[in-house]
């Protein structure tokens, strides 16, 4: 059987590896890049709606970036009502605009707008 270094096209390159100059050193990532982005950086809109829900009123929260499932879970526990994520929006059961706004402001949202 033949030598695997000779049969492989890369076998000849292995001997040249030591002759190559060292490449650039790996740069350390800045500390800001490792932090999570602020989910409340933009405008957060809290609005109530009834359309397509069989006459039931819900409160929708849009404009939040990041992990919506986790925030919906926290909203459920804090407000004592149901909340789900639908189409990049959190849907909270009932007319909860003021309570949701207070919760989001407590969590650090700067621009919370009550919509219709």
Query: 34: buried, middle or exposed (CB in 10 Å: 19+, 13-18, 0-12)?
Result: exposed
The confidence score (pLDDT) of residue 45 equals: 94
Containing 116, the helix (H) or strand (E) segment is none
pLDDT bucket at 26, cuts 50 / 70 / 90? low
Asked if the structure places residue 27 within a domain, the reply is: no
Asked if the structure places residue 82 within a domain, the reply is: yes
Report the CATH number at residue 109.
Answer: 3.30.780.10
Asked if the structure places residue 64 within a domain, the reply is: yes
- Structural domain that includes position 79: 40-114
Q: For the residues 94-113, what does the mean pLDDT come to?
A: 92
The structural domain count of the chain equals 1
CA distance 71 to 106: 13
Asked if the structure places residue 9 within a domain, the reply is: no
Asked if the structure places residue 89 within a domain, the reply is: yes
Asked if the structure places residue 20 within a domain, the reply is: no
Asked if the structure places residue 110 within a domain, the reply is: yes
Other C-beta atoms closer than 10 Å to the C-beta of 75 total: 23
The confidence score (pLDDT) of residue 6 equals: 58
CA distance 44 to 62: 6
Query: Sheet of 112-114: strands edge to edge?
Result: 83-86, 89-93, 58-62, 44-49, 112-114
Share of the chain above pLDDT 70, in %: 84
pLDDT over threshold 80, residue 10: no
Asked if the structure places residue 13 within a domain, the reply is: no
The confidence score (pLDDT) of residue 95 equals: 93
Q: For the residues 49-78, what does the mean pLDDT come to?
A: 91
Q: For the residues 49-65, what does the mean pLDDT come to?
A: 91
């Amino acid at each position: 059987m033949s030598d695997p270094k000779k049969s492989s096209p890369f076998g000849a390159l292995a001997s040249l590896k030591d002759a190559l100059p060292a490449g650039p050193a790996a740069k350390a990532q800045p500390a800001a890049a490792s932090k999570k982005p602020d989910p409340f950086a933009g405008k957060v809109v809290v609005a109530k709606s009834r359309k397509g829900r069989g006459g039931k009123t819900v409160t929708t929260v849009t404009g939040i970036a990041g992990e919506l499932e986790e925030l919906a879970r926290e909203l459920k526990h804090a407000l004592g009502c149901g909340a789900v994520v639908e189409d990049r929006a959190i849907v909270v059961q009932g007319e909860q605009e003021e309570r949701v706004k207070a919760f989001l402001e407590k969590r650090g949202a700067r621009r919370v707008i009550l919509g219709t």
